[in-house]
Amino acid sequence: MREFLQDLISNEPIDPVEAARRNMRPSLRKRFYQHAGVGQGTPHPILLEGRPVKTPAGSPLAAPCAPLAQAIAAEWEAQGEHIDPATMPLTRLANTIIDGVVPQPEPVADEVAKYLGSDLVCYRADTPEGLVQNQAQHWDPVLSWARTALGARFVLSEGVMFVAQPESAVAATRRAIPSDPWRLGAVNVIATLTGSALIALAVAHGALGVGAAWNAANVDEDWNMDFWGRDELALQRRATRFADMKAAAKVLELVR
């Protein structure tokens, strides 16, 4: 409201773009605690001033291992005057897993498996040559890992023409989807962010680092940005997605 009144009395014209951005900004809750920490017990609860934090559905916000709980608590501890969920990707992921994956893991596993029918790394460009080479550089190692580690041979297609994948490849890869709800939730996030269950599973099984996975997921976008130029708002959205992906990779690293 104060910013709005300042605009009214200012001699400067109101910027319509900035005004729209202000209207889109969420109302952030003021920080109401001094200290965030981890309590005793398994799972390890997140505490604010010694009191347990609740998820949106009312369950205790708690992690299956102490290092993850400490990382989540660190997000709360790092908040400033206001609590900004956008800067707390681990907390948001934990809420999602506790409220949405733990009660019903099967539908989440099904969602991950759906990507196998039209996985990003199986659909290749036929031109230009530079893009073709970039896709092969980043995507071929993922397919090679699936063949070697999972016994799954996927079929490639050029362009957007759909290609049916062998049932044996899909079945073999589906068996690699984690059953643990925390790892499953993390894999689902990576698959959603990348459009590839194979990339997500390669990260989960330690065959692909988060940086390499992110580069593989953004081969086409990087190519277009190099050709057309970079858009600041698009880069900001991309940074947010990368933070979510790093949070998912952190869960996979810590929850074994």
Note whether 185 and 108 are within 8 A (CB): yes
Residue 21 to residue 54: CA distance in whole angstroms = 30
**Please, which pLDDT band fits residue 8 given cuts at 50, 70 and 90?**
very low
Note whether 59 and 98 are within 8 A (CB): yes
From 124, 165, 132, 161, select the one nearest 147 (Cα to Cα): 165
Note whether 197 and 119 are within 8 A (CB): yes
**Interval 105-139: pLDDT, tens:** 999 999 999 999 999 999 999 999 999 999 999 99
What are phi and psi for residue 2, nearest 5 degrees? -60, -40
Residue 141 to residue 220: CA distance in whole angstroms = 17
Is the pTM value of this prediction over 0.75?
A: yes
> What share of the chain in percent tops pLDDT 70?
90
Specify the pLDDT at position 10. 39
Specify the pLDDT at position 231. 82
**Interval 150-192: pLDDT, tens:** 999 999 999 888 999 999 999 999 999 999 999 999 999 999 9
Distance of CA 178 to the CA centre of its chain: 16
**Please, which pLDDT band fits residue 26 given cuts at 50, 70 and 90?**
low
- Ordered by where they begin, the domains of the chain are 29-88 (3.30.2180.10), 105-254 (1.10.3580.10)
CB-based contacts of 199: which residues, under 8 Å, 6+ apart?
Answer: 120, 121, 142, 190, 191, 208, 213, 216, 217
What is the pLDDT averaged over residues 35-56?
Answer: 97
Strands 82-83 and 123-124, bridge-based pairing: unpaired
Residue 15: is its pLDDT beyond 90?
A: no
- Cβ-count burial of 7 within 10 angstroms (0-12 exposed, 13-18 middle, 19+ buried)? middle
Specify the pLDDT at position 25. 55
